[in-house]
Amino acid sequence: MNDDMRLRDGAAPCASPSGSAATAIGNGVYAALDLGTNNCRLLIACPIGEGFRVVDSFSRIIRLGEGISATGSISEAAIERAISALSICRDKIRYRKARRLRLIATEACRAADNADSFRDRVAAETGIRLEVIDRETEAALAVVGCSPLLDPKGRGAILFDIGGGSTELVRIERDPDGQDAAPRIKAWMSIPLGVVTLAEHFGGRDVTPESYARMVQEVARHVTPFAVEHGTDLKDMHMLGTSGTVTTLAGVFLDLPRYDRRRIDGIWMNDADVTATIARLLGMSYRERVDSNCISVERADLVLAGCAILDAIRDAFPLPRLRVADRGLREGMLVEMMRADGALRAI
């Protein structure tokens, strides 16, 4: 697959496919929606060559999981925010005439007592029927979406996806006898901690070195057993991260005047770069984080919780390089659907 799978919003409509794939996929327009604990994201695309072209997209922070760790339920305010965002997604799907869809929900809908009634209400008010996926499926989709960013000269990576309510860790490796083969999952785990849950428990606005250290320790308690079993023999491996945490970190590292996906997706950061950028964020006040163009009010109270998760992973897997991915579950869903339809070559 091409390393750059995505183009800007507003690209030309999809051309009609031909042959047996045309029967399976209709007009060749695919939509992938990821309703997470923190974000609602949509990607609409058409297969092209060995990759795909994006024709529309949407992303909004909705904090669906806000308060779930304390109350066990999705709040009315969060439901309203989600339905507002999902209504926009529905309109985009209809406008682009996407026929092949996968519409998933993750940790908030796995954890909330009222998840079923929430999904019923979403279906009634927007027409969107959400599929709640398990953590193993979430990890597998992240691998499919991010694997084009594996170092082609390396053996594999420790991939992590820091979400709002959970974090997935995956060890992926290439078959040494088949360099063109897709990387395989050697081991994976999911921990019930993400930026929203961690920030709610320890505080996200006013983070001291002491409270930050406690966050790192809490995450390490979950990560260490996995690292003991699967963190040895890291030769020719690197870290591969997908999440708002790592893309924000990269934007701050580059001192971007505003977030620019083209400069972030695929960037390499060495260990010293990551350490210095996290220290810089820790030195900022909440107001300074709000005023940062690469953080803003939407992430200002969450970014240090994400950094604490990243630091716990870095401590467990001491690798010298991190590659940042502004891609993940949506891309994984699109690729899987297109491969199933014969619109992309299956590896």
331 close to 145: Cβ distance less than 8 angstroms? yes
Are 116 and 212 members of one domain? no
Identify the helix (H) or strand (E) that includes residue 61. Answer: strand 51-61
Q: Is residue 230 part of a domain?
A: yes
Residue that the structure tokens 């994201």 belong to:
41
Give the integer Cα–Cα distance in Å for 246 and 52: 24
286 exposure class (CB count in 10 Å sphere: 0-12, 13-18, 19+): middle
Q: Is residue 4 part of a domain?
A: no
Are 104 and 176 members of one domain? no
The pTM is what? 0.87
- Give me 149's structure tokens: 């960013």
Are 71 and 217 members of one domain? no
CATH code, domain with 192: 3.30.420.150
Q: Which of 189, 289, 307, 286 is nearest to 244 (CA)?
A: 307
List of residues 6+ apart from 181 with CB closer than 8 A: 174, 175, 347
Q: Is residue 143 part of a domain?
A: no
Q: What pLDDT score was predicted for residue 7?
A: 31
CATH code, domain with 43: 3.30.420.40
Q: Which of 92, 100, 101, 98 is nearest to 14 (CA)?
A: 98
Q: Which of 45, 58, 60 is nearest to 4 (CA)?
A: 45
Give the integer Cα–Cα distance in Å for 317 and 251: 23
- Cα dist. 176→181, 231, 300 in Å? 9, 19, 42
For 321, phi and psi rounded to 5 degrees? -135, 145
Q: What pLDDT score was predicted for residue 347?
A: 53
Q: Where are the alpha helices (DSSP H) in 147-208?
A: 195-202
Are 186 and 103 members of one domain? no
Are 198 and 72 members of one domain? no
Are 228 and 314 members of one domain? yes
211 close to 202: Cβ distance less than 8 angstroms? yes
Partnered with residue 241 across adjacent β-strands are 160, 324
Residue that the structure tokens 């919003």 belong to:
9
Q: What pLDDT score was predicted for residue 344?
A: 81
Range of the domain at 186: 148-325
Q: What pLDDT score was predicted for residue 22?
A: 38
How many domains, the chain?
Answer: 2
Q: What pLDDT score was predicted for residue 258?
A: 87
Q: Cα 76 vs. chain centroid, distance in angstroms? A: 25
167 close to 193: Cβ distance less than 8 angstroms? yes
- The pLDDT tens digits along the chain (347 residues) read 333 333 333 334 565 444 334 333 556 999 999 999 999 999 999 998 888 999 999 999 999 999 998 899 999 999 999 999 999 999 999 999 999 999 999 999 999 999 999 999 999 999 999 999 999 999 999 999 999 999 999 999 999 999 999 999 999 998 776 555 678 999 999 999 999 999 999 999 999 999 999 999 999 999 999 999 999 899 999 999 998 999 999 999 999 998 888 999 999 999 999 999 999 999 999 999 999 988 989 899 999 999 999 999 999 999 999 999 999 999 999 999 999 999 886 55
Q: Which of 5, 64, 9 is nearest to 40 (CA)?
A: 64
